[in-house]
Chains A and B, each alone.
Chain A
Amino acid sequence: MSDKVYDILIVGGGPGGLAAAIYGARARLNTLLIEKGKTGGQAATTEDMENYPGFARGTTGPGLMKAFTEHAESFGAEIVRDEVVKIDMEEKVVHTKSGATYKSKTIILAPGAVPRTLNIPGEFALRGKGVSYCATCDADFFEELDVVVLGNGDAAIEEAGYLTKFANSVTIIVIHDEGILDAAPMLQERAFKNPKIKWVWNSTLAEIKGDGLVESVVIKNVKTNELTEMETNGVFIYVGTVPQTEFVKDTGLELDERGYIVTNEKMETNIDGVFAVGDARVKYLRQVVTAAADGAIAAVAAEKYIVEEEGFRQSVLEEDRPVAVVFWSPMVQKAIEMMPTIETTIDSYGEKVKLWKMDTYRNQRVANRYNVTKNPTIVLFNKGEVVATLEEDAITEDSIRQALADLVS
């Protein structure tokens, strides 16, 4: 490992990670982004990108992602192609598949999601032979051929529309009753009007058949359990996604039962200095615009974290003198009332004792680390160690002097 310590290390180069890189690098932070494939993530696998604000129809996913990447690089973000396989969350050391290690002050996880597979017979063996999860990659193989699309959310309906530009016919297999789709109304309207699209309702796929290339699918009616075989040349599967968070399991990082990373509004995870953005976190809307917004928030929160942590380390933990850290909030009446007593008492020691005020309203994290729950609380540090804690009414001139007695000669 080189001695270099990055300010922000981003795992994943989709729109979430790239936006974080833009904000991080622009704030003059040493920013490294590690991406295992090509930057752009899922957003680079769709041609029709119509809802990124300011970019109207005609914008493509790969085009937009190329612009994101160039934007990040223009501010000086470093992009490395490698796969992160392990993270030491406490030390913030990242290990990659190629054997490299990187150390950083903060980590932003942006690993996104991958298409969910069905795990039906034929699906795995016929990948690259007609079974696909990426219309952009494979659509032009299907000129004059027939394909089926499984799924009925935004991605399924949008990509089906894209496929009609190439294929002879596109049959969408929908699990719901006739006329019911999960996709946005505008996408539905367009699909229902498209003469190349055919529909099979109340159904899913049971098997994909073919010797070397896809030849047919077995469609299962979920109401009657009836199986019918239909000839086709291609199968595009859009049945949701799964987060790529396998590599952070068992690191102490909080995930929900489906593997999504839990964060708060500031993109903070349960681990200090580790943030998560984009499709891999628990959130309401998984889109390019929200992934990018997450990235911006995380980079700014990471910057603030670095400033606060370094301030605390330099001013408190690495200080030679005893330091009385007063956790307080100007919003709490009691804290305001007690502050003058605290200040005059500490000041009476002159240069021998240092006073350091922490606004708990603005920095909850450090307060939590020292189990501060009362307002105000004094935590007395000597050579980086906690030597005494005084809370609320227990804080008096006498109690402060008593706590300092052994430390100050």
Chain B
Amino acid sequence: MLEVHKDNFEAEVLQAEGLVLVDFWGPKCESCLAVMPDVEALAEKYGDRLKFCKLNTQGNRRLAISQKVLGLPVIAFYRNGEKIDELAKDDVTKENIEAKILELLA
């Protein structure tokens, strides 16, 4: 998974073509840490069909807020630089993320 931050977010996500998943996480968010291995497994599985990025909100707070993220965990989906969908809080589970990926790829 690609680490995105304030210096490359524009190029890697907002200017990117196709589907991009961004995992907004933080070191103090236990449920983010719990789900991280699942997202990494999904990146292995679907990495050739969409781009997987993770964004540590610590140190990138303004960027997160500019993306209307003000709480964790959030898994956001962008298509051609446009945010099209997201999962937040309790909805962030392996099953839900995979279902959403399949829905957006279809």
Q: A140-B61, A143-B61 are in contact. Are A37 and B30 (CB under 8 A)?
A: yes
Write out, one digit per residue, whether chain B residues 18-61 have a CB within 8 A of any chain A CB (1) or not (0): 00000000101111111100000000000000000000011001
Contact partners of A40 in chain B: CB under 8 A = 30
The yes or no answer to A269 lying at the interface (CB within 8 A) is no
**Do A213 and B65 touch (CB < 8 A)?**
yes
**Do B72 and A214 touch (CB < 8 A)?**
no
Interface segment among A15-23, A129-137, A178-186, A394-402: the answer is: A129-137
Q: A136-B28, A140-B28 are in contact. Are A37 and B68 (CB under 8 A)?
A: no
Cα of A38 to Cα of B73 in the assembled complex, Å: 13
A-B contact count (CB 8 A): 76
Contact partners of B95 in chain A: CB under 8 A = 97
CB contact between B72 and one of A44, A81, A97, A138 (< 8 Å): that residue: A138
The yes or no answer to B88 lying at the interface (CB within 8 A) is yes
Bin chain B's interface residue count.
20 to 34
**Do A37 and B28 touch (CB < 8 A)?**
no
Bin chain A's interface residue count.
20 to 34
Write out, one digit per residue, whether chain A residues 117-146 have a CB within 8 A of any chain B CB (1) or not (0): 000000000011111111011101111000
User: How many whole Å from A351's CB to the nearest CB in chain B?
Assistant: 59
The yes or no answer to B13 lying at the interface (CB within 8 A) is no
**Do A127 and B88 touch (CB < 8 A)?**
yes
The yes or no answer to B74 lying at the interface (CB within 8 A) is yes
**Do A138 and B30 touch (CB < 8 A)?**
no
User: How many whole Å from B106's CB to the nearest CB in chain A?
Assistant: 23
For the complex of A and B, 9 pairs with smallest distance between CB atoms: A128-B88, A38-B34, A128-B71, A212-B68, A137-B29, A37-B34, A127-B89, A138-B71, A128-B74
* 26 A-B pairs in the complex with CB atoms less than 8 angstroms apart: A37-B31, A37-B35, A38-B31, A38-B33, A45-B30, A127-B88, A128-B69, A128-B70, A128-B73, A128-B86, A128-B88, A128-B89, A129-B70, A129-B88, A130-B71, A132-B71, A133-B89, A134-B29, A137-B26, A137-B28, A137-B31, A140-B26, A140-B57, A143-B61, A212-B68, A213-B68
Instruction: Give the A-binding residues of B (Cβ under 8 A).
Output: 26, 28-35, 57-58, 61, 64-65, 68-74, 86, 88-90, 95
